[in-house]
Chain A
Amino acid sequence: MSEQRQTHIIGYGTLVLIWVLLLLLTATTVAVSRVDLGALHVWAALAIACLKAALVIGIFMHMRYEGRLLRLSLLTALVTLAIFIGLTFFDVLYR
C-alpha cells in the first residue's frame, strides 16, 4: 500500500561524515574569502554554499532517498527561483 522507502534510516556514521564535510567546506570558504581573487571570489563563495546546501538537502533532509514526486517538486521550486533571479539580473545588468 504505502511506498517502500517509508523508513530509510541513515546511519550515524554517514551523518557525522556529512557534518565533517560541511565543516571542511566552511573552513575552505572562509580561507578562500581571505585570498584576493577579484570578482571570482563571489562565485567561489556561492559555489561552496551550493555544495553545502546540496549535502544538507540530499542527506540531512533525506532528499536522496525520496521518490520522484518530491525530487521533481524540489527541482520546480529551484528552477522557479533561478528564473526569478536570472530574469531580474537580465533586467538590472543590461538596462
Chain B
Amino acid sequence: MSQASHRDEAGDRLGMWLFLFTELLLFGGLFLLYGVYLARTPEDFISAGGELDLVLGTANTVILITSSLTVAVAVSALQKGARSLTLWMLGTTVLCALIFLVNKAFEWRAKIDHDIYPGSKRLLAGEGGESVFYSLYYLTTGLHALHVLIGAALLGWVGFRIKGGRRDGEGAVLENVGLYWHLVDLVWIFIFPLYYLIL
C-alpha cells in the first residue's frame, strides 16, 4: 500500500519521453543521411527506390496505424477498469506487430533474392547512389523492425502482468509501453513516404 502511494506517474512519463527524444534523434540522423544522399544522387535514389513494393509498404502502414489505435484503446480501457477489453486490444496489437514483421521478412526476402543487399554483386556493379540507398534502407527498416520486435515483446509482457492481476501501477507501465509503441508507428510514418512514395 505504501508503495502504491509513492508512485510518481508524471515522473515516469517524463523519463519515458526523454528516452523517446533520444530515439527521435537516432532515427532523425538516419533520415538526415537519407536526405543528404537523395540531394546528392537523386537519379540513383529514384531508380533504386522504384523497386520497393508500394502495396506492401502501404499495407504495413495501415497495420501499424491500426496497432497504434488498439494500444491507445487498451490504455483508455485500463483507465476505465475494462480489463478484458485491455487484454483483447493488447493481443490485437501484438498480432499486428507479427503481421508487420512477416510482411517485412517477405519484402527483404524478395530483395535478397534479386541480389539486392549491402555488398551484393549487383549493387557493387551498379551506381554508387543505389548502393547507398539500399544500405540506408536495410539499416533504417532493420532498426525499425528491431523496435517493432522489442515493442511487441513489451506489450506481451505488460499484457501478462495485467492478466496476472497485478494492480500496482499497471496503468503507468502500460502507458509508457504504449508510448514506445506509438514511437514505432511515428518512425514508420516518415519511413513510408521517404522510401516508398517520393521516389
Residues of A whose CB lies within 8 Å of any CB of B are: 2-3, 6-7, 9-12, 15-16, 18-19, 22-23, 26, 29-30, 33, 41-42, 45-46, 48-49, 52-53, 56-57, 59-62, 66-67, 69-70, 73-74, 77-78, 80-81, 84-85, 88-89, 92-93
Min CB gap B100→A, angstroms: 15
Q: How many residues of chain B get a CB closer than 8 Å to chain A's CBs?
A: 46
B72 near A: Cβ within 8 Å? yes
What are 16 A-B contacts with C-beta separation under 8 Å?
A26-B58, A26-B61, A30-B197, A45-B194, A60-B69, A60-B71, A60-B72, A61-B178, A70-B14, A74-B21, A84-B28, A84-B29, A85-B31, A85-B35, A88-B32, A93-B39
Min CB gap B189→A, angstroms: 5
For the complex, would chain B's binding face be called helix, strand, loop or mixed by DSSP majority? helix
Asked whether A61 lies within 8 Å of B10 as measured between CB atoms, the reply is no
CB-defined contacts of B9 to chain A, threshold 8 Å = 2, 6
A95, B76: Cα distance in complex, Å: 51
Closest to A80 in B: B25
Given contacts A16-B69, A26-B58, A56-B182, contact A84 B32 (CB under 8 A): yes
B160 near A: Cβ within 8 Å? no
Asked whether A23 lies within 8 Å of B62 as measured between CB atoms, the reply is yes
Asked whether B25 lies within 8 Å of A61 as measured between CB atoms, the reply is no
Min CB gap A71→B, angstroms: 10
List residues 57-92 of chain B with CB under 8 A from any CB of chain A. Answer: 58, 61-62, 65-66, 68-69, 71-73, 76, 79-80
Given A33-B197, A52-B189; 12 other pairs, CB 8 A cutoff: A15-B72, A26-B192, A46-B193, A56-B182, A60-B72, A73-B17, A77-B25, A78-B24, A84-B25, A84-B29, A85-B35, A93-B39
Of the candidates A7, A33, A60, A85, the one whose C-beta lies within 8 Å of that of B79 is A7
Asked whether A60 lies within 8 Å of B68 as measured between CB atoms, the reply is yes
A92, B185: Cα distance in complex, Å: 29
Of the candidates B32, B65, B179, the one whose C-beta lies within 8 Å of that of A85 is B32
Asked whether A12 lies within 8 Å of B61 as measured between CB atoms, the reply is no
CB-defined contacts of B197 to chain A, threshold 8 Å = 29-30, 33, 45
A61, B176: Cα distance in complex, Å: 9
Closest to B191 in A: A49
Asked whether B72 lies within 8 Å of A73 as measured between CB atoms, the reply is no
B144 near A: Cβ within 8 Å? no
CB-defined contacts of B31 to chain A, threshold 8 Å = 85
Given contacts A6-B9, A77-B21, contact A19 B69 (CB under 8 A): yes
A69, B35: Cα distance in complex, Å: 31
